[in-house]
Amino acid sequence: AQKITQTQPGMFVQEKEAVTLDCTYDTSDPSYGLFWYKQPSSGEMIFLIYQGSYDQQNATEGRYSLNFQKARKSANLVISASQLGDSAMYFCAMREGLGRTGNQFYFGTGTSLTVIP
């Protein structure tokens, strides 16, 4: 089974509007972390936001927020007030074993976001 599922291969959003990128995950480990990364055409992976499985509140980082619904195993990324520079690939990732060393990241297949002027 896929550890991370992103069902939106491509998304379009009007500049200054908000957009939600979907991510669901699968794990039996009660301790895990969820991450979102942005990958522009240059290829670098830019960390956006992190949510721990025990965190009570949804994570927020500037215009980014993570809508964490633990029972549904979803961790959707919300980008508010989209900007042209937000156009990029977005990857959801999970790491199991909160606090344990060496555990790998599992990445979703990504969502290509295009911001329309």
Q: Is residue 91 within the footprint of another protein (CB under 8 A)? A: yes
Tokens of 23: 């991510």
As measured in angstroms, the least distance from the Cβ of 17 to another protein is 25
Q: Is residue 107 within the footprint of another protein (CB under 8 A)? A: yes
The span of 17-25, 66-74, 76-84, 104-112 binding another protein (CB under 8 A) equals: 104-112
Q: Is residue 99 within the footprint of another protein (CB under 8 A)? A: yes
Binder among 43, 56, 72, 85 for another protein (CB under 8 A): 43
Cβ-based nearer residue to another protein, 44 or 117: 44
Q: Is residue 35 within the footprint of another protein (CB under 8 A)? A: yes
Q: Is residue 45 within the footprint of another protein (CB under 8 A)? A: yes
**DSSP per-residue string spanning the chain:** --SEE---SEEEEETTS-EEE--EE----S-EEEEEEEE-TT---EEEEEEETT-SS--EETTEEEEEETTTTEEEEEE-S--GGG-EEEEEEEEESTT-SSPPEEE---EEEEEE-
